[in-house]
A = this chain, B = another copy of it.
Amino acid sequence: MVERERPAGLREKKKQATRHALFEAAVRLAAEHGAQQVTVEAISERAGVSPRTFFNYFRSREDAFVMSDPEVGERIRQAVREAPAERSALDVLRDAMAEQIAGMELDRELWSLVALVLSRSPELTSRLLSLQAEEERALAEAFTARLRDQGRDGPRAQLYAWLLASLSAAATRVAMTQWYEHSGTEAFPDIFHQVFDQLAAGLAHPVDES
């Protein structure tokens, strides 16, 4: 089984590298010329692929600037749906997200360019928000289905499902902010896990430095 899985892993890594190259090209071009001026052709050329290939990775021109990858959300939801019922939903969410984050290349300079590009383009900010809202709803529905399978489908279960979905975005954002502010001292995945440790411990007090 391991033998057969290896090529798929390699293919997946190559796909992620191409997606990242397109994202980086889009963001650097937008920082130089303004997002409005940047065409799919220019992004593809800088990333060394054809415009047709571009649309294998992104649904629209706009999505490249915010690195929207519909597959990431779907993989997280699949992990949520398939996780054993006895596992804590928060742990399930953390592990599913951590697996996706592990593949992310984080580059402070690039992310500050993303922030710059978004601050100059209300259209892109708005697109990012509506993508996030779609993802949040889909993730809440995955948790709702999981809870229903466990015989929980009252309003409290629904509130819990939505809270988890909403926290997935909040946790990522908080981890990004902290990583950005203390760059170099701690790796992003470690900070990401600290956020989930804090959520699991409740929020009455900060968890101690370990």
Indicate whether A182 sits within 8 Å of B166 (C-beta atoms), given known contacts A123-B122, A200-B203.
no
Indicate whether A201 sits within 8 Å of B202 (C-beta atoms), given known contacts A122-B126, A209-B154, A209-B156.
yes
A88 to B173, CA, bound (A): 23
A168-199 to B contact mask, C-beta < 8 Å, 1/0: 01110110011001100110000100110011
Say how far A84's CB is from chain B's closest CB, in angstroms.
Answer: 14
Cβ of A49: which chain B residues have Cβ within 8 Å of it? none
Total interface residues on A, CB under 8 Å, equals 52
A64: interface (CB < 8 Å): no
Question: B122 to A199, Cβ gap below 8 A?
Answer: no
- Chain A residues engaging chain B, CB cutoff 8 angstroms: 88-91, 119, 122-123, 125-126, 129-130, 147, 152, 154-164, 166-167, 169-171, 173-174, 177-178, 181-182, 185-186, 191, 194-195, 198-209
